Amino acid sequence: DSGVTQTPKHLITATGQRVTLRCSPRSGDLSVYWYQQSLDQGLQFLIQYYNGEERAKGNILERFSAQQFPDLHSELNLSSLELGDSALYFCASTSGASIGELFFGEGSRLTVL
């Protein structure tokens, strides 16, 4: 158990819809990362937050947005969903004290029909 909790574990929705994925980082971790894992693209970095502020941005679509709340949990919002958005979305957290030692949740599997 990494200590990172993601909900929901599975989500099935239709094209055009909007969903919210939630992540609770490990206790004490200030930094949260979101990654998308798909068969054709592999693991793609989406966005990072540190203590409530956006720190780095990767290949995140404009239809996607994220935020980190004062209690440090984070949400990834995906809107106007397309079939190609079907993927496993991972959240990872770190204290920042050790470079690269990210602790991953078990992921949220999104299926868009």
Partner 1 sequence: AQSVTQLDSQVPVFEEAPVELRCNYSSSVSVYLFWYVQYPNQGLQLLLKYLSGSTLVKGINGFEAEFNKSQTSFHLRKPSVHISDTAEYFCAVNFGNEKLTFGTGTRLTIIP
> Quick count: other Cβ atoms within 10 Å of Cβ 11?
17
Residue 88's alpha-carbon distances to 2, 47, 69, 99, in angstroms, are: 17, 15, 22, 24
Identify residues 44-73 at the interface with partner 1 (CB under 8 A): 45, 48, 55-56, 58
Q: How many residues at the interface with partner 1, by CB under 8 A?
A: 21
Instruction: Pick out residues in 75-104 that bind partner 1 (CB under 8 A).
Output: 90, 92, 99-102, 104
Cα→Cα distances 19→65, 76, 86, 91, 110, Å: 11, 8, 12, 15, 9
Under the criterion CB under 8 A, does residue 8 sit at the interface with partner 1? no
Q: State how far the Cα of 112 lies from the Cα of 12, in Å rounded to an integer.
A: 6
Of 6 and 112, which CB lies nearer to partner 1 in the complex structure?
6
Q: For partner 1, give the closer residue by CB, 85 or 93.
A: 93
Q: How far is the CB of 103 from partner 1 (least distance, A)?
A: 8
- CA 50, CA 30: separation in Å to the nearest integer? 6
Binding site for partner 1 (CB under 8 A): 2, 4, 33, 35, 42-43, 45, 48, 55-56, 58, 90, 92, 99-102, 104-107
